[in-house]
Amino acid sequence: MKIKVIVPLLTSKYNSAVQEELLPYIAPDVSITVVNLASGSSSIESRYDEIYSTPEIVNKIVESEEEGYDGVFVSCVSDPGISVAREIVDIPIVGGFEPAALSAGIISKRWGIITISQSCARLIRDLATLAGIHQQLACICSIDQPINELHKMPGQLEDVLLTKVKKMIGEEQVTAIVLGCTGMMGMAKYLSNEMKAVGIPIQVIDPTAVALGYLQMMIRAGLTHSRLEYPKLTLTKIND
Site for a second copy in 108-167 (CB under 8 A): 108-110, 117-119, 122, 125-126, 129-136
Closest CA to 46 of 117, 114, 140: 117
Among 7, 69, 98, 168, binds a second copy (CB under 8 A): 98
Binding to a second copy in span 166-225, by CB under 8 A: 169, 175-176, 189, 200-203, 205-206, 209-210, 212-214, 216-218, 220-225
Q: Report the DSSP beta bridge partners of residue 125.
A: none
Residue of 35, 84, 160, 162 interacting with a second copy (CB under 8 A): 84
> Smallest distance from the beta carbon of 132 to a second copy, in angstroms?
3
Mask of contacts with a second copy, 32-71, x by CB under 8 A? ---------xx--xxxxxxxx-xx--x-------------
As a 3-state breakdown, the chain gives helix, strand, coil percent values, each rounded to 5, of 50, 15, 40
Residue 98 class from Cβ within 10 Å (0-12 exposed, 13-18 middle, 19+ buried)?
A: buried
| Window 218-237: residues binding a second copy (CB under 8 A) | 218, 220-231, 233, 237
3-state secondary structure of 50: helix
Instruction: Give min distance, CB of 174 to a second copy, in A.
Output: 8
> What angle is formed at CA 122 by the lines to CA 40 and CA 102, rounded to 5 degrees?
95
Taking the complex as a whole, the smallest distance from the CB of residue 205 to a second copy amounts, in Å, to: 7
- Residue count (the chain): 240
Q: Which of 170, 211, 192, 168 is nearest to 25 (CA)?
A: 211
Interaction residues for a second copy, span 2-31 (CB under 8 A): 24-30
Question: CB of residue 155 vs a second copy: minimum separation in angstroms?
Answer: 23
